[in-house]
Structure 1
Amino acid sequence: MKKPVLSLLLLAAYSHVSQAEGLYGSIKIQSVQQELADTLLTSPRVNNRIVSPERNKDVGGSVALGYEFIGGWRLESEYTIKQDSEFKSYWAPFNANVNNMQVSSKRLMFNAYKDFPLTQSLSLYAMAGAGVAHINSEGYQSNPSRRFANNTQNNFAYNLGVGADLKLTRQITVGTGYRYVDMGKVETGYNTFTNRINARDEQLKGKLREQNLYVEARMSF
């Protein structure tokens, strides 16, 4: 009789630990791979582009404050620190007039997580979120004196990801994961330099995307 009672007590204790709810704070350190897709120079005189195959790679981070609910759900707000990237493209077919587009981005996201426990301390999760990306874009053509004006945007952004968590203590959890981020269409201002017809009618444009591999430390309050 004692063994079934003990088993029920252990099960209740496990459920309480694994489904405890409350506030938490989180820090992520992540690799950042940004890509400018569909790069375009909008000009009435240029139709074809050659885009450099390189992507911008760096290290970044984020901080978050969230709430963990019973049932394996978490909701959080996350601020991602500023990321600077530079992308190059050329006129076809001669690779002439290299265009450098310089993009700075940071995000405020609202994320939802669903945990899938494997053991008392190990779990997998899926996540999705949406928010705002604050983006500054500028650039130049051939040399820094031939500039495109700065342009500031607040774009809708979303992210999707998966990961794994390991609970070290009742309060501390560490984890790792991957996510894809879409920050929408970005563009510079118009050219400030004089072109062939003395017009302000050229811009650099593209779609800003990002991939992260990250490690995370999370503390419950």
Structure 2
Amino acid sequence: MQSTAAEDYVKAIYHHTEWQPEPVTPSQLATRLGLANSTVTEMVKKLAAAGLVHHRPYGAIELTSEGAALAVRQVRRHRVVETWLVERHGYDWDEVHDEAEILEHALSDRLLDSIARSLGDPVRDPHGDPIPAADGTVVRPDAVLLADAAVGHAGAVVRISDSDPAMLRFLADAGIALDASLEVLGQKPYSGSIQVRTDAGTVDLGPQVAQAVWLSA
């Protein structure tokens, strides 16, 4: 089963567990894909029949080894394309996701590998997500979510979720990008914000941002 839909589904399942351990539920998958629960349920049944996922009724969805291999292949394609668009075509990091969603299905393996070589075989995309190697190897940085970082924790930004383009623009304006140095100065429990020090000064970051930024551990 190698349809575009199957590739998108296994990639979404992979994304859910890439930076946290809890498996995805059908309703969470439906939300991530922007589809009705019934549509997702039917597709998950097809994926299970094709040997790409494990799923029991009302339970979580997990990739099989075959499903994981397909997901890693698609993740590599998507992230190489995002990197290519930023580095060679002048796209900003908040503009590449939708373009990559289209192009990742259209490029041949030969062209994809040629693009990767021309970029120096990058190991991360513009948002810090690891780019799997051609053999499927994935090297993920040791990182801590900003929301979980203790007061006084200082580190470099190693990953920023690309799920919200507006947030990426906000962070860029605040001088928070990959490899930027951050120090957690304090938490404001009643407002839910976290105050951090950057190279440009201090800034208060809300809960949504704190759940989207990872620092070196």
Q: Normalising TM by the smaller chain, what interval?
A: under 0.3
In terms of fraction of residues, the more strand-rich structure is: 1
TM-score (norm 2): 0.17
In terms of fraction of residues, the more helix-rich structure is: 2
Q: Which has the higher contact order (CA 8 A, sep 6+)?
A: 1
